[in-house]
Structure 1
Amino acid sequence: MKASLREYHHHFVALKNIYGDLMTTINTDQPLTDVFSQALCRLNRPPRTVAMWTPRVVLLGYSGCGRKTMAQMLAKKYELVSVHCGTLIRTEVLKGSKLGRAMSTYTEARLPVPDPMVIKMLKLRLTEVDCTLKGWVLYGFPRSWIQAELLDSADLEPNRIIVLNIPHSEAAVRLTGRRVDAVTGETYHLCHKPPPEGLMDQPKRIGIRPRTSDCEISTKLSRFAAQRDELMKFYGSRLSQVNADRDIPTVFESVEAAITKPLPYQTDS
Structure 2
Amino acid sequence: MSAAAFTVSASQFTGAKQRRALNARAVTASSSRRAVVAVAAGPKKIVIAGAPASGKGTQCELIVDKYGLEHISAGDLLRAAVAAGTDLGVRAKEFMDRGDLVPDEVVVGMVVEALDTDKAKSAGWLLDGYPRSASQADAITKEGIIPDSVILLDVPDDILVERVVGRRMDPETGKIYHLKFNPPPADVAARCTQRSDDTEEKAMNRLKVHHSNVEAVVGKYEGKINEIDGNRSKADVFADICGVIDEM
TM-score by length of 2: 0.76
Shift of 1:91: 3.4
1:104 pairs with 2:89: yes
Cα deviation 1:114-162 (Å, max 9, x = unaligned): 3134222222211211100011111121111111111112100111111
Give the aligned CA root-mean-square deviation in angstroms. 2.9
Amino acid at match of 2:238: F
Structure 1 CA distance, aligned partners of 2:39 and 2:221?
24
Percent identity over the alignment is 26
Instruction: Decide which structure has the larger Cα Rg and report it.
Output: 1
Of 216, 228, 234, the match for 1:248: 234
- When residues 251 and 128 of structure 1 are mapped into structure 2, their CA distance, relative to the original with a 3 A threshold, is same
Shift of 1:105: 4.4
Structure 2 CA distance, aligned partners of 1:58 and 1:75?
13
Structure 1 partner of 2:218:
232
Structure 1 residue ranges without an equivalent (≥5)? 1-35, 263-269
Structure 2 CA distance, aligned partners of 1:95 and 1:232?
33
Structure 2 partner of 1:142:
131
Amino acid at match of 2:47: V
Relative contact order, higher structure (CA 8 A, sep 6+): 2
Shift of 1:183: 4.7
Which segment is superposed worse, 129-138 or 111-120? Answer: 111-120
* TM alignment of 1:168-183, pairs within 5 A: 168-183=157-172
Structure 2 CA distance, aligned partners of 1:177 and 1:136?
30
1:219 pairs with 2:205: yes
Structure 2 residue ranges without an equivalent (≥5)? 1-28
Structure 2 partner of 1:261:
247
1:124 pairs with 2:110: no
Structure 1 CA distance, aligned partners of 2:137 and 2:200?
28
Q: 1:236 aligns to what SS in structure 2?
A: coil
Structure 1 partner of 2:67:
78
Structure 2 CA distance, aligned partners of 1:108 and 1:177?
21
Deviation beyond 4 Å, 4+ runs, structure 1? 48-51, 92-96, 197-200
